Structures are given as structure tokens and as C-alpha cells.
Amino acid sequence: MDVLGRYRNLIVLVGVLFAQVLGLAVQVKRTTDDESTRLIRIWAVDTVTPLEKALVWVQTSTGNIWHNYFYLRGVRAENRSLKAQVERMSLERVRMSQDADQARRLQALLAFKEQFISETMAAQVIGSSGSELSRSVYIDKGERDGIKPDMAVITADGIVGKVLRVYGSTSLVLLIDDQTSGVGALLDKTRLQGILRGTPSGEVVLEKVMSDETVPAGEMVLTSGGDGIFPKGLLVGRVTKVSPGSELFLNIRVRPAADLSKLEEVLVVTKIDERQAEPDQTGAARAIDILAERLPKVPTKPENTVKADAAGTVAPTTVAPTTVAPAGTAADAKPKAVPAEASDASGTATGQKKASPASSSGSSSGPKATAAGTHAVKDSPRPVKATVEPKPQPAVEDSPH
């Protein structure tokens, strides 16, 4: 007992250290947070972040009152609106630029799918982790706002990071300059792909680019979409320095486009959609359409059947391949059966006023013509007969004259 009393402090120290080392070892082995550590994190975050939120709110509100009502009233709001517009357009520009390049490269691949950001949520940065070795920030949106882990976080300038942990009303965002982060990236011109990582000193490097490749300084780095978090084509930053690295790879330093040390507001990408690339409709007709035209088919019964029947026989429905309009959807552009004789006869044998091909099509389309169809007629250099339902006309051969 004497020994225990004498070394009580040391024994407690060893016990506390042992418990923490054991806990640390368990956490390192597990890939996900177990319930006990998650609770500690929730308590800590719930203790600290409300105060941060309150301070940020006070700071923002005070700033807003001053700028909106005492100092250049209205200008600030307009400026903010314009900035938001610029942000949106900047994002759109990057995406469209990528789309154009992509379209040229993958023109032949009809089944190609692309991703685009369809929904974002603005969030305020309220605090950091407080450690230089854990480069992460807290935002004021959490589970209740629909935030989920692994959502991409961006600004108008470039990508910021991804949502790592989600709490009730806050989330922890892992920045791209943290050493445990990894982003699939590619170089804009050379299209070389690599992995973007942070370093312990807070720099960002592009890894896994072979040393025999040439990478010029200043080249833009974009997301490749390969990580499944960031959509392809978002701006990451620019190459600042290229040097031979370890093994067979280059050491490429990248300066992030977004200023990660001065983050105030960010956008969380809450929804990414995939869409199918549309095939070029100006090309030759598809084989399946040509085959479909050659098959016998039952003509659609027109509305004025009674009138036609009264006038005489209905023109036989024949199939005539027609020009496909450049604009419009595939469904609209699909060639349809057209009564060739009826079309010719309408202006000649029946003695009706002959109209120009375009006007003829336009008039015959009537209320049934779709918007795409109408547009297709305007753009088409040749008469388009495919967009309207055939009108029954008296056949020339069967004419009583």
C-alpha cells in the first residue's frame, strides 16, 4: 500500500496514457468512427460550434447593418447579387468549356455519360479544427439541411474539399490541402491524370504523373471525376512548380484556385446528375430508321376521313424517305411515312393552289406540328415532310377527270 501511495501519480499517469494509447490503436484499426468516439466528437462539436455560429452571426449581422443601411445603402446588396451571378457564370463557364472539349473528343461515343452539378447549398464557414495538422473547417449546415458525407464543397474560384463528418446543424469539411485528402485530377492541356494530395506543410501536390511527361508551369488543374465526389471539369488550381520526384513520378506543386486560408462562404454540391450525351442528329439516318421505313405499316387514320371518303378513294400510303431536320429531338427528327403521290397531287391534279415546299409543309403541319418540328422546318434546307401526319388526298389515277 505504501508503494501505491508513493507512486500514485505515476500509476495514474501510466493508466491514463495506457487508456488513451489503447483507444488510439482501436480507432486507427477501425475505418469508421465507433459509437464511443463519435459521442465525444458530438459533445465537443455541440459545445464549441454554437458559440462559433453565434459569433459569426453577430459579425455578419453587424457588418450587414453597417454596409446595407449606413454605408452605401443598396450598393452592397447589388454587389453581392452580382458576385453571386459571376460565381454562377464562372462555374457554368468552366463546365461549358469542358463540355465543348469533351464533345469534340467523344463525338462518336453515343453512350457517353457526363455529370453536372444540379443543386448546391450555400454555407458559412464558422470554425476550423484548431490544428495545423488537421486542415478542416466547420460549416453551418448539417444533417438537418440535407448535407451528407462525401459531398463536394466548392467556391466560385475552385474546389475546397469534401464533407467528412455530418452533425446535426454543422459539418466538418476536409480541405484539399490536408494530407489525408485525395482528389482525382487532370491537367487541362496535356490531359494527364493524377491524384491531388495535401502535404504536412499545407501544400498541394499532384501525384502519380510519370516523370517522362512534360508538364509546364502555369497549366490549369481540373477535377477528373474519377474520385466519385467531384464532377469532372471543376477548377482545382494551377501548376506552380514541377520537379523530379521519388521513383518514377513527377513532383508537381499546385496552387489551389480557392484561397483555403480565407474561406468564408462555400457551396456544398448536394446533387450531381448524369445525363446521356445526345448523338449528332445532322448525320446520316440511322440504319434502324431506314429499316423501319421499309416495313409495311398501317397508316394513321386522319381526322378528315369522312371528307376524304366522300370525295373519293384515299390515296395509297407509300413510304418515302425524307430529310431529317437538323434540330429537334430524335423522336421529332425520325422520318415518317409520307404519301408521296398525295403530296404531288395536292398541287397539280387536284387543281389546288401550288404552294412552295416550305409553306406547304408549314401549312399542312397545322396544330399537330410540334415546336421542334416547326423549328426543324425553318432550319432545313430542303422541304421537310416528315414532321406532319399525312393528309389524305385523292389519288391522281383515281381522279374522275
- 21 near another protein, judged by CB under 8 A: yes
Q: Which stretch binds another protein (CB under 8 A): 184-192, 260-268, 271-279, 344-352?
A: 260-268
- 139 near another protein, judged by CB under 8 A: no
If you write DSSP's letter for every residue of 69-110 in order, what string do you get?
IISSTTHHHHHHHHHHHHHHHHHHHHHHHHHHHHHHHTTT-T
- 4 near another protein, judged by CB under 8 A: no
Q: Which stretch binds another protein (CB under 8 A): 23-31, 299-307, 317-325, 345-353?
A: 23-31
C-alpha cell belonging to residue 298: 398501317
Distance CA 268, CA 162 (A): 8
Distance CA 162, CA 174 (A): 5
Taking the complex as a whole, the smallest distance from the CB of residue 96 to another protein amounts, in Å, to 33
Cα atoms in the Cβ-side hemisphere of radius 13 Å centred on 307: 6
Q: Which stretch binds another protein (CB under 8 A): 10-18, 107-115, 246-254, 314-322?
A: 10-18
Taking the complex as a whole, the smallest distance from the CB of residue 262 to another protein amounts, in Å, to 8
Nearer to another protein, 157 or 213 (CB): 157
Binding characters for another protein, 148-167, by CB under 8 A (x = yes): ----------------xx--
Cα atoms in the Cβ-side hemisphere of radius 13 Å centred on 267: 19
373 CB neighbour count, 10 Å cutoff: 21
Taking the complex as a whole, the smallest distance from the CB of residue 148 to another protein amounts, in Å, to 16
Q: Which stretch binds another protein (CB under 8 A): 6-14, 230-238, 290-298, 359-367?
A: 6-14
- 353 near another protein, judged by CB under 8 A: no
Distance CA 71, CA 82 (A): 18
Helix (H) or strand (E) holding 398: none
Nearer to another protein, 43 or 66 (CB): 43
C-alpha cell belonging to residue 119: 443543386
Tracing cell 489503447 back to the chain, one arrives at 22
- 96 near another protein, judged by CB under 8 A: no
Q: How far is CA 168 from the centre of its chain?
A: 27
- 23 near another protein, judged by CB under 8 A: yes
- 93 near another protein, judged by CB under 8 A: no
Distance set, CA 260 to CA 167, 174, 200, 204, 255 (Å): 22, 11, 15, 11, 10
Q: Which one of 94, 98, 123, 127 is in contact with another protein (CB under 8 A)? A: 127
If you write DSSP's letter for every residue of 249-318 in order, what string do you get?
BEEEEEEESS-TTS--EEEEEEEEEEEEPPPPTTSPPPHHHHHHHHS--PPPPPTTHHHHHHHSPPPP--
Nearer to another protein, 28 or 306 (CB): 28
Taking the complex as a whole, the smallest distance from the CB of residue 387 to another protein amounts, in Å, to 59
Taking the complex as a whole, the smallest distance from the CB of residue 134 to another protein amounts, in Å, to 4
- 44 near another protein, judged by CB under 8 A: yes
Q: Which stretch binds another protein (CB under 8 A): 152-160, 171-179, 294-302, 378-386?
A: 171-179
- 113 near another protein, judged by CB under 8 A: no
Contact present, 380 and 332 (Cβ < 8 Å): no
- 16 near another protein, judged by CB under 8 A: yes
C-alpha cell belonging to residue 324: 431529317
Binding site for another protein (CB under 8 A): 8-9, 12-13, 16-17, 20-21, 23-25, 27-28, 37, 40-41, 43-45, 47-48, 51-52, 55, 125, 127-134, 136-138, 164-165, 172, 174, 178-180, 199-201, 261-263
